[in-house]
Amino acid sequence: MKYFFISFFIVLSVHSNEIKFEDFNLPVFEGQETLALEKLRGKKVVINFFASWCTACIKELPELNELKTQNNQNYKFLAINAGENNKTIKKFLNRYEFPYTILTDENREFSKKIGVNELPHTLIIDETGKVVYSNKLPPKQEQMDGLNGKSQ
């Protein structure tokens, strides 16, 4: 029961825009560079946490790809692989289309630090670094429109 109340409080906090997203500096998949959240300040960012073994992650790929197609002008799209090495990620990406910028969290250090314990998980961070969406499912287009200030 104690965990339920803690989880409920976190969800309420996320939806009331009270949580600032933890800065990160994660390696870009198969790149020499890293990507830091501070470089994205002033932009809205969609972040999806996934792993190759996660069947729900695979199942949501078409929805995530459509989300990017419809919202590419307003958001930066990132995917963070939680807990796998580059060889495993490469096999996954050879099999499935996932046109997000892929970052790696091989030891799940960052994922655990921010409380992403289950996959998949999608977050949206606003221009100021606040979490405005956090869910195991990607947002629907109506939710994206609401975050963009479009009338529904």
Please give the DSSP secondary-structure letter assigned to residue 101. Answer: E
* pLDDT score, position 38: 86
pLDDT per residue over 41-76, tens digit each?
899 999 999 999 999 999 999 999 999 999 999 999
Contact 45, 26 (CB under 8 A): no
pLDDT at 10 over 80: no
Contact 49, 55 (CB under 8 A): no
Q: Count of CB atoms within 10 A of residue 97's CB?
A: 9
For 103, the 3-state DSSP assignment is strand
* pLDDT score, position 49: 98
For 59, the 3-state DSSP assignment is helix
Least trusted range by pLDDT, from 22-26, 99-103, 112-116, 148-152: 148-152
Domain ranges within the chain, ordered by starting residue: 2-147
At 149, the pLDDT band (50, 70, 90 cuts) reads: confident
Using the Cα atoms of residue 69, residue 71, residue 73 and residue 104 in order, give the sign of their dihedral: negative
CATH class of the domain whose range is 2-147: alpha beta
pLDDT per residue over 11-22, tens digit each?
433 443 445 677
User: How many angstroms separate the CA atoms of 130 and 19, rounded?
Assistant: 6
Task: Read off the pLDDT of each residue in 102-112 and give the average, rounded to a whole number.
Answer: 95
Structure tokens at 1: 């029961």
Note the pTM of the prediction, 2 decimals: 0.84
pLDDT at 142 over 80: yes
User: How many angstroms separate the CA atoms of 64 and 122, rounded?
Assistant: 10
Rounded to 5°, the CA angle 151-10-51 comes to 85
For 22, the 3-state DSSP assignment is coil
Express as a percent the part of the chain with pLDDT over 90: 68
* pLDDT score, position 112: 92
User: How many angstroms separate the CA atoms of 79 and 83, rounded?
Assistant: 13
